Chains A and B, each alone.
Chain A
Amino acid sequence: MIKYTIRRFITMLFTLFIIATATFFLLAAVPGDALSARAERLPENIKENLYKKYGLDKPTMERYVITMKSMLHGDFGESITYEGQTVSSIIRDKGPVSARLGLQQMLLGVSVGLLLGVLAAIKKGTWIDYLVVTLAIVFISVPNLVFGLLLQKVFGGTLSWFPVIGWPQGDELWFGGWKYTVLPTLTGCFVYIATYARLLKTSMLDVINQDYVLTAESKGLTRGQVIRRHVIRNSFIPVMTQLPMSVAMCITGSFFVENIFSIPGLGLYYVNAVSGRDTSIVLGNTVIIAALYIIVIFITDILYTLVDPRIRIRGGKK
C-alpha cells in the first residue's frame, strides 16, 4: 500500500511536469501576449520596460526554464492583467465560491440522479422508466445556460422567489445566503442528474441479469432485499468511475453557470485569463487543477477497493 502510494506520487509529479510543459508551449505558440493590447499605444521605451518587468522579452526557452524553476519552489507567478494578484491569491479567493457551487450542484444532482436511476431500473418498461430516460436526454442535450435563463425568467423574474444574480460573500461564503444559491445550483445539477440516472440504470439492469441475483432470489429473499443487498452495491462500481471526474469538475467551476448568475468563481476567471493571455495564471491554474484531478483519481482507486473486494492494490505486503 505504501509502495503503491509512492509509485502513484512519482507518476503524479511526472504527469504534472508534462502538463505544465505542454501548457507552456501551447500558450507560447498562441499569437499575442498579455501585454500586446496594452502596449500598442505606449511609447517604445515604456513598452520595453513593461515587457522586461514581466520577463516577456526573453526567448521562449529561457522563459520556460525560469517558469519551471519558480514553479518547483511553489511560486506560480503574478497576474499580468490584474495587478498584484497571484495564482495562489486567486485560488484562495475564487476557489471556495466555485467549490460551494460545484458541491451543491453535485450533491443534489448525483443524489437525484441515482434515485431516478434506481427507479427507472426497477420499473423498467413502465412510464416511470420512459419519463426518466426522456428527462435524461433533455437534461444532457440542452445546454445548461438555457436552463439558467429559463429559471431566472420564471423564478427570478415572474415569481420573484429568488434573486436573479449574486452570490453570498464574506461570512456567508460557505453556509448562508442560500437563496442566492438556489437557481445556480438547480441550473448546474441537471447534467449530473442525467449522467447518473442513465449510468446507474444501465449498470443495474446489467446486474439484475446476473446469476447471483437468481441465487439471491432462490434463497427466498424479497425483491426489495435482493435489490438492496445484491444489486445496488454491485451496480455502483461503474458509478464510482464517474464520481471522481464530477468531484474535480465541481471544484474547477462551471463557466456558463458562473457567467449567467454573475458568480465570482474560478471558472469565469480562468476563461478570462485564457482570452487575456495571462500566461502565469493559466499555467498555474492548469497545474493546480491537474493536481487536483490526479489526487481525486487516486482517492477513487482506493475507494474502489472498498466497493469491490476483487480489486486489491498490489505492491504492498499482502
Chain B
Amino acid sequence: MSKLLEVKDLRVSYHTYAGEVQSVRGVSFDLEEGEAIAIVGESGCGKSVTAKTIMGLIKEPGKIKEGSEIIYRGQDILKLSKKEMGQYRGKEAAIIFQDALAALNPTMRVGKQIMENILQHNKSMSKSEAFEEAVKMLEMVGIPDARQRAKQYPHEFSGGMRQRAMIAIAFACQPKLLIADEPTTALDVTIQAQIMRLIKDLQKKLNTSVILITHDLGVVANVAKRIVVMYSGKIVESGNSEDIFYHPKHPYTCALLNAVPRLDLENKQVLASIEGTPPDLLDPPKGCPFCTRCRYCMKICCEELPEMTQFGDGHQAACWLHHPMAADCERPKEMEVSK
C-alpha cells in the first residue's frame, strides 16, 4: 500500500482579540490508500481544525504556520493554487460534517446539491446525466424513492437521511479521501450504527481512505484500523486500534476508555469522567498538556514536554511514565508493565 496522505508538523493558530489560540500544535500522521483511521479527542483538542486544514477550509482568522506540510500523493496541498485547490476539493478529498441540517443548503433541492459536485468535476456531463448520477448516489447511500427524494429540500428529510444525503454528496465524485468530522454526533444511537456501517461499506467498496473524527471511542472500534488520540492540539498517542483499546500507553487514553459507558455498569454507578478542563490554548503549558488533570502527574510532567516513545508496530505515546527513570512510578492499571 502506498501513502495517500502525510501530515507533517501541522500547526494552526487562530488570531483573536485575546491573542493567538494555538489550536493545532505540531500534528503529524499519515494515511495509506484505502485505510481508515480515527482521530479521537475531546472538544477543542484541534481535531476538527486538523480536518478542515486537510480540506483547505481554514479561513481568517485561522492561519497555518510555516513549516506545516500536508502531502497528498506527493504534493503539498498547502501550496496549491486556487484552481488546483478547486480540483482537489470534492474530486480528491471530501468531507462530511457533524450537523447535516446545517451543512445542507436549506434552499436548494438535495439532488441539485449532489449534482453540483458532479458537474463541477465532470464539465462535459449534461444536467440530466448528472441528475441520474445524483439519483444513483442517493440509492447507493440507501435512500428509498431516490428519484422523488432528489427533488426535495433538506428539511423534508429525517436526521439520518440528511446525513446519508451528505454522504452522497461527499462520495459523488468518488474521492480518494473522505474526512468524516463527527458524522454521527447529532444522531441517535441506532442511526449512528447505520451511518457508520454505511461509511464502512462505501469505504470498502470504493477503496476510499477515511479519516474519522470523533470524541466517542465507542464509534471508532469497528471502523478504524488505526487510532490517533489528540489532546490540546497535540497527538498524545497513536497506534493500531487493538493496541489503543487493550494496551493504552497514555493516561489520557486510559481515562478516555474509562469514560466510555458500558452495558455492564451497576445500576446507580456514576459514569466515569475526566476531572478538570483542557488547558487554555492561548497560553499552552510548557510541559505535558494533560499534567493538571493527570492522576499520575510527576514533577517533570509540568516542566518538560514528553518525547514520543515507540512501542513497535507504529504504536507510540508521549508520556514521561515510559521514561526508564519512571519505571517504579504509579501508573494506570492498563499501563502496568508486566515484569
Contacts and interface: CB of A to CB of B under 8 A. Distances in A.
Given A215-B169, A229-B116, A309-B153, A221 B86 contact: yes
A220 B107 contact: no
A210 interface: yes
A175 B37 CA distance: 69
B193 interface: no
Contacts of A219: 89-90, 94, 116-117, 120, 169
A309 B52 CA distance: 30
Interface residues of B, number: 31
Given A214-B97, A214-B103, A220-B90, A230 B121 contact: no
Interface of B: 52, 55, 57, 82, 85-91, 94-95, 97, 99, 102-108, 113, 116-117, 120-121, 153, 155, 166, 169
B89 A217 contact: yes
B244 to A, nearest CB: 29
A212 B120 contact: no
A140 to B, nearest CB: 28
A310 B104 contact: no
B87 A220 contact: yes
B57 A217 contact: yes
B102 A221 contact: no
A223 B82 CA distance: 10
Interface of A: 210-212, 214-222, 225, 229-230, 233-234, 307-310
A218 B57 contact: yes
Nearest to B109: A309
A230 B102 CA distance: 13
Contact of B105 (A215, A218, A222): A215
A122 B181 CA distance: 27
B91 A215 contact: no
Contacts of B87: 220
Contacts of A217: 57, 89
Contacts of A307: 107
28 contacts: A210-B102, A211-B97, A211-B99, A211-B102, A211-B103, A212-B103, A212-B104, A212-B106, A214-B57, A214-B95, A215-B95, A215-B104, A215-B105, A215-B166, A218-B89, A218-B90, A219-B116, A219-B120, A220-B89, A220-B91, A220-B120, A220-B121, A221-B90, A221-B116, A225-B120, A234-B105, A308-B106, A310-B106
A220 B105 contact: no
B107 A215 contact: no
A222 B86 contact: yes
A220 B108 contact: no
Contacts of B94: 218-219
Nearest to B89: A220
A161 B22 CA distance: 61
A214 B96 CA distance: 10
Nearest to A234: B107
Contacts of B86: 220-222
Given A217-B57, A219-B117, A221-B120, A230 B90 contact: no
Contact of A212 (B57, B89, B91, B102): B102
Contacts of B108: 229-230, 233
Contacts of A211: 97, 99, 102-103
B158 to A, nearest CB: 15
Contacts of A308: 106-107
A310 B108 CA distance: 10
A310 B153 contact: yes
Given A215-B95, A216-B105, A216-B116, 13 more contacts: A210-B102, A212-B105, A214-B97, A215-B103, A215-B166, A218-B95, A220-B87, A220-B121, A221-B86, A225-B120, A233-B107, A234-B107, A308-B107
A65 B119 CA distance: 68
Contacts of B107: 233-234, 307-310
Contacts of A222: 82, 86
B77 to A, nearest CB: 13
A228 to B, nearest CB: 12
A221 B57 CA distance: 12
A229 B153 CA distance: 15
A270 B155 CA distance: 47
Contacts of B82: 222
A69 to B, nearest CB: 48
Nearest to A231: B105
A310 B107 CA distance: 8
Nearest to B105: A212
